[in-house]
Amino acid sequence: MQALRRWLSLLRNWCLGDQMTRSILLIIGGGIAAYKSLELIRELKKRGIGVKAILTKAGEQFVTPLAVGALTGEKVYQDLFSLTDETEMGHIELSRAADLVVVAPATADLLAKMATGLANDLASTTLLATDKNVLAAPAMNVRMWHHAATQRNIKQLKSDGVAFVGPGEGEMACGEYGLGRLAEPLEIAAAIDALLAPDDLPLKGKHVLITAGPTREPIDPVRYISNQSSGKQGYAIAEAAVRLGAQVTLVSGPVSLPIPPGAGMIPVQTAEEMLKAVEQSLPADIAIFTAAVADWRVASVAGEKIKKRSDGKPPTLSLAENPDILRSIATRKNGRPKLVVGFAAETENVITHAQEKLTKKGCDLIVANDVSEEQGVFGGDANTVHLVSKSGVENWPKLSKAEVATRLMQKLSEMA
Ligand SMILES: Cc1cc2nc3c(=O)[nH]c(=O)nc-3n(C[C@H](O)[C@H](O)[C@H](O)COP(=O)(O)O)c2cc1C
């Protein structure tokens, strides 16, 4: 009871406290993804986070000081040797006035300067002078990212305590494909939120990865196989984890729910996309798999809409098994999250099946729920769950999904 009261007080202080006064110094480097820093500023302002920005000389080639200034509502700092800037707010003061320094996009050049301690312009001097935590969101061409020099710099910076978000994998502006894309503004904002959370929140500094919703496996360009998962339980867990100070990545299939404030979101459609997004989001301290992943996909997706046949015969769909996301993460040799939690939706013998799943998948905890029609779990707001682990079964009463989420995250934060 005392522990619960402490939690409530921590949460209240955080929610009602000084959120409006949280502020960051955003350093915008000269990368093609610099335009996304504008979206990031808007997202941070929505969260009540103040933003002062430094625009590098190269950054100015991609976004204008006018746009950055209009969105931050603040002066934009560009020149180390500006007498006016120095009299208003010197570079040392600028480096320490904010609660966190964020470099987005972090160019290969800025990362190299940070790793070697160069200080030959306003951005690099500020980064060397700061006494605050630094978060870097790298963005560059795939070959620049994989270059031994960049990887050496990243390793050095990680050991110096610099936090990273991204980069992601995908199509690049230069037409190549691979790792090096700037993390999405929502993901960066979630990482910032987590780093700004008060130190005494129980999941501060922890990365919680959550999957939610159904997957959608295409049959042809207009049809798909899916299921009735609403995503409500996973989204509620994401909210609870954010409230406890975690950096949250939510990998979600198609649902009609708003993105939980403070969570980073990766939208996916298919099971294969979900696995890839999960793998790219590692490392994580806790991984919670609530998504209702389709067991099968259509082996060969038709390129055109399948037409009705004149002989009245229906088409034959041959299915292929989808990857087992929970098992593949829970049994990883390298980079397994400390806690791997699976959800089991069962319509009969709920506990027995959950115990079998616990062993078969190699996870630490199974949250089992009865999704038979009379329970109304799919799409509903309540859930009756049983926590199955090697040490036994905990039966929880019927609770709202929000309450299940809060209790589960409290429990996991004590175990993590
Ligand atoms: C069109 C164009 C796009 C660029 N995109 C990137 C990029 O995405 N990432 C990167 O590290 N460098 C990129 N560069 C190179 C940087 O602009 C260059 O290294 C510059 O010196 C970085 O300066 P800064 O780190 O002070 O911002 C790009 C250059 C050009 C001309």
Decide whether any atom of ligand 1 lies within 6 Å of the 31 Cβ. Answer: yes
2 inside domain: no
Side by side, the strands of the sheet bearing 247-252 are: 264-267, 247-252, 207-212, 286-289, 339-346, 365-370, 385-389, 392-395
Q: Which two tokens stand for residue 215?
A: 């997957």
Q: Residue 10 above 60 pLDDT? A: no
- The residue written with tokens 């400390």 in the block is 338
Other residues' Cβ atoms within 10 Å of the Cβ of residue 18: 10
Instruction: Give the mutation target among 55, 62, 79, 109 for probing the ligand 1 site: most ligand atoms within 8 A of CB.
Output: 109
Instruction: Give the mutation target among 26, 27, 32 for probing the ligand 1 site: most ligand atoms within 8 A of CB.
Output: 32
The mean of the pLDDT values for the chain is 90
Ligand 1, atom 13: closest residue by C-alpha: 31
Q: Residue 7 above 80 pLDDT? A: no
Model confidence pLDDT, tens digit, residues 264-307: 888 999 999 999 999 988 999 999 999 999 999 999 999 999 99
Atom of ligand 1 nearest to the CA of 59: 27
CA distance 328 to 345: 19
Decide whether any atom of ligand 1 lies within 6 Å of the 108 Cβ. Answer: yes
Decide whether any atom of ligand 1 lies within 6 Å of the 30 Cβ. Answer: yes
Kindly indicate the confidence band of residue 9, based on its pLDDT and cuts at 50, 70 and 90: very low
307 inside domain: no
**Residue of 173, 174, 222, 319 marked active site:** 174
Rounded mean pLDDT of 9-36? 74
The alpha carbon of 109 and the centre of ligand 1 are apart by a number of angstroms equal to 7
Instruction: Give the mutation target among 27, 68, 107, 150 for probing the ligand 1 site: most ligand atoms within 8 A of CB.
Output: 107
Amino acid 377: pLDDT: 57
Amino acid 378: pLDDT: 59
The alpha carbon of 416 and the centre of ligand 1 are apart by a number of angstroms equal to 39
The domain boundary, picked from 171, 193, 215, lies at 193
Atom of ligand 1 nearest to the CA of 29: 27
Kindly indicate the confidence band of residue 333, based on its pLDDT and cuts at 50, 70 and 90: very high
Name the residue type at position 69: G
Instruction: Tell me, yes or no, if 363 is annotated catalytic.
Output: no
Decide whether any atom of ligand 1 lies within 6 Å of the 209 Cβ. Answer: no
Amino acid 238: pLDDT: 95
Q: Do 169 and 243 belong to one domain?
A: no
Query: Range with the lowest mean pLDDT among 6-15, 50-59, 70-79, 291-300?
Result: 6-15
Rounded mean pLDDT of 76-93? 87
Decide whether any atom of ligand 1 lies within 6 Å of the 107 Cβ. Answer: yes
Could you write out the DSSP letters of every residue in 365-412? EEEEEE-SGGG--TT-SEE-EEEEETTEEEEPPSEEHHHHHHHHHHHH
Amino acid 150: pLDDT: 96
The domain boundary, picked from 170, 193, 216, lies at 193
Q: Which of 7-11, 206-210, 375-379 has the highest mean pLDDT?
A: 206-210
Q: Do 329 and 350 belong to one domain?
A: yes
Cα–Cα distances in angstroms (integers) from residue 6 to residues 116, 202, 203, 205, 237, in the given order: 43, 11, 14, 19, 20
Say how many domains are in the chain: 2
**Which residue would you say has higher pLDDT here, 184 or 170?**
184
Ligand 1, atom 2: closest residue by C-alpha: 32
Rounded mean pLDDT of 333-346? 93
Q: Do 92 and 170 belong to one domain?
A: yes
Rounded mean pLDDT of 383-408? 93
The alpha carbon of 110 and the centre of ligand 1 are apart by a number of angstroms equal to 9
Cα four-point dihedral sign 238, 239, 245, 249: positive
The alpha carbon of 173 and the centre of ligand 1 are apart by a number of angstroms equal to 12
- The residue written with tokens 């522990």 in the block is 3
DSSP strand pairing (177-181 vs 168-171): antiparallel
The domain boundary, picked from 193, 225, 259, lies at 193
Q: Residue 222 above 50 pLDDT? A: yes
Q: Do 203 and 168 belong to one domain?
A: no
Rounded mean pLDDT of 73-88? 88
Kindly indicate the confidence band of residue 197, based on its pLDDT and cuts at 50, 70 and 90: confident
Give me the CATH number covering residue 223. 3.40.50.10300
Cα four-point dihedral sign 199, 236, 43, 47: negative
Ligand 1, atom 22: closest residue by C-alpha: 30
Rounded mean pLDDT of 345-364? 91
Ligand 1, atom 5: closest residue by C-alpha: 31
Decide whether any atom of ligand 1 lies within 6 Å of the 59 Cβ. Answer: yes
Please report, rounded to a whole number, the percentage of residues in the chain having pLDDT higher than 90: 70
Q: Do 188 and 122 belong to one domain?
A: yes
Decide whether any atom of ligand 1 lies within 6 Å of the 138 Cβ. Answer: no
Query: Range with the lowest mean pLDDT among 62-71, 158-167, 376-385?
Result: 376-385
Rg over alpha carbons for the chain, rounded to the nearest Å, is 23
The residues, ordered by sequence, that sit 6+ positions from 93 with a Cβ below 8 Å of its Cβ are none
CA distance 214 to 227: 6
Alpha helices in 76-141 (DSSP H): 83-88, 91-97, 108-116, 122-129
Amino acid 341: pLDDT: 98
Please report, rounded to a whole number, the percentage of residues in the chain having pLDDT higher than 70: 93
The alpha carbon of 31 and the centre of ligand 1 are apart by a number of angstroms equal to 4
Rounded mean pLDDT of 17-28? 78
Rounded mean pLDDT of 26-43? 97
Q: Residue 19 above 60 pLDDT? A: no
Amino acid 265: pLDDT: 85
The boundaries of the domain holding residue 28 are: 19-193
Model confidence pLDDT, tens digit, residues 35-47: 999 999 999 999 8
Ligand 1, atom 28: closest residue by C-alpha: 31
Q: Do 409 and 390 belong to one domain?
A: yes
Q: Do 62 and 153 belong to one domain?
A: yes
Q: Residue 340 above 60 pLDDT? A: yes
Q: Residue 166 above 90 pLDDT? A: no
Ligand 1, atom 1: closest residue by C-alpha: 32
Give me the CATH number covering residue 50. 3.40.50.1950
Other residues' Cβ atoms within 10 Å of the Cβ of residue 161: 8
